[in-house]
Structures are given as structure tokens and as C-alpha cells.
Chain A
Amino acid sequence: MRFMMIVKATTDSEAGVLPSQELIDAMQKYNEELVKAGVMLAADGLHSSANAVRISYPEPGGKPKLVDGPFTEAKEMIAGYTLIEVKSREEALEWALRMPDPHGFGQGEIELRQVFEFEELLGDPESRAKEEELRRQAQESKKA
């Protein structure tokens, strides 16, 4: 099963302040540990929200509303993620606990979220068959 460890943005990450060398080293060591344990799938860091765009749909069925960054409320944003493949939720939590404090000055926050599995989305075989058919149709209409 796959889990995403989401590192929340901080006032520093939003201000474009780079983490200390110490934290960078610790993170690198941690990532290597994930790789050597065979659980790391992907990891990326994100730019601050300064050049971000928010697309929202305030009216049901209406046109999207665009708002340019930067945004306030750092805690509602993410600064990066690490995707891991593990055997259990407990293992994912154990790995998340081993990640260094991503901020170090009180704002560090990691959110652990499970990624949907194909089978989970499509419970019983019947609805799964329907889902597959829908996807196939969607694929064909895209091609056409």
C-alpha cells in the first residue's frame, strides 16, 4: 500500500528561505534510508506559493475563478511530499516518525495520507467491471 507523507508549508518555506544545511543533510540521509529499505517511490519539493495559481469553482457548474499567489495561511499549503510503498499503515507511520522535523523552529508538520488503490475504488467485481467499461469509453472518446 502507498502512503504520501505531506510536508506542510511554513512561513520560512513561503518566504523562500532555504532550510539549514543541517536539515538538508538530515533529509538527504533520511531519503537514502528510504531508498535502501526499498520503500521510496517518489519525493519532490514545491516552490513557494508566490508563483502559484488557485483555481476554484464558487458556482456549481459555473466558470472557474483564478487567484494568483502568494497565498497566506502557510499551514494550509504543502511544501513537498514523499510517496512510499509499505506493508501496513503502522509501517507508514513508523517511517513518518523517522522523518526529521521539516522546519525545526516550531512550525514543522507532516501529514500522513493513504493513497487509494485501484481495487479500493472498485469494490465488488460487478462495479469494477462497470468502472473499467467507463474508463474504456472515456479513453475512446478522448481518442475520437
Chain B
Amino acid sequence: MSVSQTHRTIDTIWRMESPKLIAGLTRMVRDVGLAEDLAQDALVIALDRWPSSGIPDKPGAWLMTTAKRRALDLLRRNKLRDQKYVEIAREIDLYTEDDIDRALDGEIEDDLLRLIFMTCHPVLSQDARVALTLRLLCGLTTDEIARSFLIAESTVAQRIVRAKRTLNMEKVPFEVPAGKELGERLSTVLEVIYLMFNEGYSATSGQSWTRPLLCQEALRLGRVLAAIAPGEPEAHGLVALMEIQSSRLKTRINAQGEPILLMDQNRALWDQLLIRRGLAALERAQRLGRTLGPYALQASITACHAVARTPSDTDWIRIAALYEALLRQTPSPIVELNRAVAIGMAFGPAYGLQLVEELNKEPSLQGYHLLPSVRGDLLEKLGRLEEASAEFERAAAMTRNVQEQALLFRRAAECKQEGERT
């Protein structure tokens, strides 16, 4: 193998192993920033040695052992001047290389789970949670994160440094929360993953309609989470939601990069493998026998679309009922708007429009482009084309996504033309 090939292989192994390394090291040194530095040290040693010695049989275990040795050295040095490390160091002395294989099985997963709860801790801002999670659990570089969010690399770097500092200052423990706290903290974790996914799925601004890297990372992390916390129905629910939504990733835009709405997509191109995986994840959530949470409910709604062979096969009555259930769990004007759409489809546009009119006064929906967009859609179906056109234009002025804006302007123009003809 050439040196550059070896370096590429090392980089790959590093990306695969670094979350586990950082998690294991954080347990030792109780400092996520220091853990990342120690893991980096192990990488540097590997880059130095592996090109000549060859890649070890179990590269993950090798990196872990090397990094833990560095950590031990550090702890021993610190022990002299810092009493608080004494206990940790004693604990770790018992941890030998022979244990690595065994440790790689169960313990590492627990550590990974603890690390996710740490990077998604409520003491951090939403942006910081996302950046730190992408950095430490997905192994993305600051540059990759910056490009995914269309922000400056220095902003990302700063966010990550500050986040690590905050975790230290607030003495956030490296643990999986227990009891009542678990539910709340888990929903924070799920929120971070879904936020990543959504940012990728429908970019809030800019030219691009989808940013696949973020979707992939979120889906992968969701799958990891569901595998290491299999008793949590909402983890499966979130995975189901993301799998099914991902099945449509490639049909959401046409060759010109413009969005294609769900009802107009070519269903033959939906990824049946991802749909099957999504339905299986949803079944796992249901089998746990608890009331379905918001992610499992949203997944159930997407599943209704996924199993409908043609748009007219869609079970809108079931979708409306699922939105009703979702509304009871997470009351929100946006869910109400979606329910209005479902009711409009199930029982006729006039019923949908009636519900949308009630939402017109909702302060939190002022400036939300989907409100006029939905209203326009319902008006168009009722044949009130002039009003529909005005609503689409209003919606277009509100969205920040260039492609979506173009679609809305087009619909406005179509309604206008159609209206003038009649």
C-alpha cells in the first residue's frame, strides 16, 4: 500500500472509530475537549507508525489502547498536583489492554450514549448542540459542518470551543439521565438529530433544496441511537420518520433543481428499501407497547403516504386522525395547519379552508410562508383562482428558499392565467 493510500485508510478508520474513542476517553478524563485532544494524539501516533508497521488487525482497539495510555500518563502527572484525579486514575489502573475487546462490546455503547446526552445537553444553545454533535459523534470536520450550514468555518470552530467550555464550567456529568429526567433529555437528543436532518432535507435558505450530507449523518446517528437505546419507542419513531422521508430524497427535485411536491412525485422512484426499513422501525416503536410519541406519530403519517401506491390511494382520513393525536401531544399551530390540509383532502377543501381561516389570526404563523401557500392551494381547489394567485404570491415573498420561491411564483402565475381564461 502506498503512503497516501495508507493515510486515506487511517483517515477512514479514524472517522469510524473517533466517536467511540472520544466517548471512552471522556469517561476517563471527564472532559470532552481533553478527550478529543487525546484521541487526536492517538491518530497522530497511528499516522506516524502505521505506514511502516502496517495497519493492525484490530485498528479500533489499537487506537483505544494508545489513547488510553496517553490518558493514563496525563492522569498520573496530574495526580501529583490535583487530588481530584486520584480516584479516577486508581479506577483506570484496573483497566488493562486485555479488557479492550470486552470493553468494545458493551461498555463503549454505554459511553457513546452518555456522550450523546452530553453533546445535546440543555445548558448548550441549539446551534452549539448541533455543531458539537456533528463534530464529536459524526466525526465531521469544522469545514464540513460550516459548508453544510452555509456559515463561516470560524463561526463553527468558535461555537464548538465555547460549547466544550460551557460543559466544563457547568460540570455537566457524563451519564445517561435516569427516571423522569430521561424522557425530557431524550427528547432534546432526538430534537438535535431531527434538526440536523431537517436542515439537510429542506434547506431553510440558499439555492440548494436538499443537503444530503446532513441527512445522511442524522439518519446514521439516529440508527446508532436506536441500536444502543432499543427500549425507547421515540428513538425508533424518529428513525422511522427519517428513513421514510429519505426514501423520497431523490424525487423531491426535478432536473432543474426545483422542488416537486409530495403529490406530484414519481412514486416508482421512491426508495423501497428505505420505506421497508422505516415501516420496520415504526413497528418496533409500536411493539414496545407505549402510547406513540410525536416522532412515531409523524412517522405513521409519512408511512400513510409511503404505502399509498398512487396519490388517490392516500388514506387522508387516517392522516387527519393521526394529526389530531399529534395535536393533543404537541399542540402547535403548524400541526393544526397540517391537520387542516389533511381534513381538506379527506372531507373537501371547504372544510380545510375553514380551519385555515381560523389560523390566520395566529400570531406565531405570521410570516410563515406555508400558511398562505396552503390557503392558496385550498382556494385553487375551490376555483377561487384570483384569491389563490394572491396567496401564492404572498407565500413566495415570505420564503427564503430560492427554488421554493420560484415554484410559488409559478403557481401564482398559473392560477392567474387559469382565472383569466374562465
**A41, B273: Cβ atoms closer than 8 Å:** yes
**B12, A88: Cβ atoms closer than 8 Å:** yes
Which residues of A110-144 are within 8 A (CB) of B? 118-119, 125-126, 128-129, 132, 135-136, 139
B278 CB to closest chain A CB, in angstroms? 12
Residues of B within 8 A of A136 (CB): 266
Docked CA distance A118–B249 (Å):
11
In the complex, B268 has a CB within 8 A of chain A? yes
Which residues of B243-257 are within 8 A (CB) of A? 250, 254-257
A94, A119, A132, A139: the one contacting B12 at CB < 8 Å is A94
Interface string of B218-262 (1 = CB under 8 A from A): 011111100110000000000000000000001000111100000
A38, A119, A129: the one contacting B223 at CB < 8 Å is A38
Which residues of B48-99 are within 8 A (CB) of A? none
Question: Majority SS of interface residues in chain A?
Answer: helix
Docked CA distance A36–B220 (Å):
10
In the complex, B103 has a CB within 8 A of chain A? no
Docked CA distance A43–B254 (Å):
32
In the complex, B416 has a CB within 8 A of chain A? no
**B254, A129: Cβ atoms closer than 8 Å:** yes
B12, B223, B273: the one contacting A90 at CB < 8 Å is B12
B16, B221, B254, B268: the one contacting A139 at CB < 8 Å is B268
**A37, B12: Cβ atoms closer than 8 Å:** no
B358 CB to closest chain A CB, in angstroms? 39
Given known contacts A38-B221, A38-B227, A94 and B13 CB-to-CB distance under 8 angstroms: yes
**B9, A139: Cβ atoms closer than 8 Å:** no
Question: Majority SS of interface residues in chain B?
Answer: helix
Docked CA distance A83–B85 (Å):
45
Given known contacts A129-B254, A132-B254, A132-B255, A39 and B220 CB-to-CB distance under 8 angstroms: yes
Interface size on A, residues (CB 8 A): 25
**B224, A38: Cβ atoms closer than 8 Å:** yes
In the complex, A25 has a CB within 8 A of chain B? no
Chain A residue nearest in CB terms to B223: A38
In the complex, A87 has a CB within 8 A of chain B? yes
Docked CA distance A32–B409 (Å):
49
Which residues of B1-49 are within 8 A (CB) of A? 8-9, 11-13, 15-16
Residues of A within 8 A of B9 (CB): 90, 93-94
A78 CB to closest chain B CB, in angstroms? 18
In the complex, B211 has a CB within 8 A of chain A? no
B219, B224, B256: the one contacting A37 at CB < 8 Å is B224
Question: Shortest 4 CB-CB distances between A and B: which pairs?
Answer: A38-B223, A129-B255, A90-B12, A38-B220
Residues of A within 8 A of B (CB): 35-39, 41-42, 83, 85, 87-88, 90-91, 93-94, 118-119, 125-126, 128-129, 132, 135-136, 139
Contact sample, A vs B, 29 pairs, CB 8 Å cutoff: A35-B223, A36-B109, A36-B227, A37-B16, A37-B224, A38-B219, A38-B220, A38-B222, A38-B223, A38-B227, A41-B273, A42-B273, A42-B277, A83-B273, A87-B216, A90-B12, A91-B12, A91-B16, A93-B9, A94-B16, A118-B269, A119-B250, A125-B255, A125-B256, A129-B256, A132-B254, A135-B266, A135-B268, A139-B266
